[in-house]
Amino acid sequence: MSKGHATAWGQLPLSLNQLCLATVLRCGQSFRWKASGPDEWSCGFPDRIISLRQSPTHLHYRATFPSPPPPSSKDDTIEIVKDYFNLSVDLAALYEKWASADPNFKKKAGEFRGVRMLRQDPWECLIGFICSSNNNISRIGQMVDKLCATYGTPLGTITHTSTNPLSPSSASAENKTPPTEVPYYSFPKIEALTGSDVEETLRKLGFGYRAKYIYKTACMVQNDRPKGFLKTLRDDKDYKEAHAELIQFTGVGPKVADCVCLMSLDKMGAVPVDTHVWQIATRDYKFGKGKHRSLTPAIYEAVGDLFRDLWGDAAGWAHSVLFTADLRTFSDRLENTKTTTTVNSKTKVKIEVKEEEVEVKEEEEGEEEEVKEEVIKTVEKRVRKRGANGKVKAEVTIKTEEVTERRTRRRRG
DNA sequence: ATCTAGCCTGTTGG
DNA sequence: ACCAACAGGCTAG
């Protein structure tokens, strides 16, 4: 059990169409949730650790407090959870709307249900996305962990039990990883990041040039803004106003500002345009027809407008579904790829079956064009797993892929 | 208005 | 195993 004072598990009814925990907590909105067990996730909040599990019908939650609560106090964790996951928004209804307006959304959404926007703390969101510049999700998570461990408040530990399914090579017999006690921390308060040593410390921790951005932004929020400034961007300002305020901070450009607007300030129409969204716009929606070389502010806004015209007021929420579908982490769910998971008592085998696919890309007339043909051949292999008694336990077909790529550059016109 | 180089460094794919 | 190139950009010029 965890050191700390854990409450009993509570639950609230919730369908997978409203929330898919394993997707939402890994798609790069928040960088702090850890897998604390098989299908269990934990994260430090200001005064407690919250742990979550999900069944097809319910979301299960419990809190672990650093010190025992007074006997009469009632646990308000459910309120925090409802707020954090924006549960007053009916996501399934929105999916219906987006799917009827956009065939491409309809096609992708099937494998990515329950992708909703979190309603995070604006300060945490701001710092998290300053870390995200020119960076990958895995490293951002590690950086935010270090930030919390260095400048946050200890909240106790959570017992982590083995999370990843045993890899086929080491799947034999008894190699369970033993449970470990993992410390959790709150996210640092604003004041904690205004110390004169902060930039240097963060550089030593591997934050690179982002160390200065974090320190300077903390100082600006703390010293040059009224108390509670970021929350007023949520309550008193519209999207454009909030965005304009956010890009005043060092290390915050249009993209980071849109992330903060969308994920913490209730601005559902904010569409952060990063390399993924740019890819989606040009590849799937033929934006600009290959004309643009770089993402200027004007083009940045035009991409957002494209999606706002298509999906409406909550375009930022819709964008997140397609963004998530574009992440490599979830590439096993792509439509031309079917995955089967075979489970017996000791082994989990994941098999990817990729269907044959021939893709020809063409760009517009008059320009130099690159024609890329990607041919994926699949080779079948049948594998039988037998138990000690020789009885067949499982039979699977594994298809491995051979990819050949042909590139030709030529001029037309 | 628009473009470019430079920035830090862990992860990832060849 | 190693080594580039990339990664959910921003700033200054």
Separation of CA A299 and C1' B5 in angstroms?
21
Contact between residue A69 and residue A48 where contact means Cβ atoms under 8 Å apart: no
Q: CATH topology of A1-87+156-172 equal to that of A89-115+269-337?
A: no
Separation between Cα atoms, residue A269 and residue A299, nearest integer Å = 17
Separation of CA A144 and C1' C7 in angstroms?
16
CB atoms within 10 A of CB A37: 17
Catalytic residue list of A: 255
For residue A175, the model assigns a pLDDT of 54
Handedness of CA A154, A159, A164, A170 (dihedral sign): positive
For residue A1, the model assigns a pLDDT of 52
Q: How do A34-37 and A40-44 pair as beta strands? A: antiparallel
For residue A279, the model assigns a pLDDT of 86
Does the pTM of the predicted model rise above 0.85?
Answer: no
For residue A18, the model assigns a pLDDT of 98
Please name the fold of domain A118-152+187-267: Endonuclease III; domain 1 (1.10.340)
Separation of CA A65 and C1' C12 in angstroms?
46
For residue A42, the model assigns a pLDDT of 96
For residue A165, the model assigns a pLDDT of 53
> Could you say which DSSP state residue A167 is in?
P
For residue A83, the model assigns a pLDDT of 98
Element (H, E) at A360: strand A357-361
Q: In degrees rounded to 5, what are phi and psi of residue A157?
A: -125, 160
For residue A314, the model assigns a pLDDT of 97
Q: How do A154-160 and A58-65 pair as beta strands? A: unpaired
Q: For chain B, which bases have at least one atom within 7 A of a protein Cβ? A: 1-4, 7-13
* Domain positions in chain A: 1-87+156-172, 89-115+269-337, 118-152+187-267, 344-354+365-411
In this structure, whether the domain defined by A1-87+156-172 belongs to CATH 3.30.310.40 is answered with yes
In this structure, whether the domain defined by A89-115+269-337 belongs to CATH 1.10.1670.10 is answered with yes
For residue A318, the model assigns a pLDDT of 96
Residues of chain A with pLDDT under 70: 1-2, 163-176, 334-413
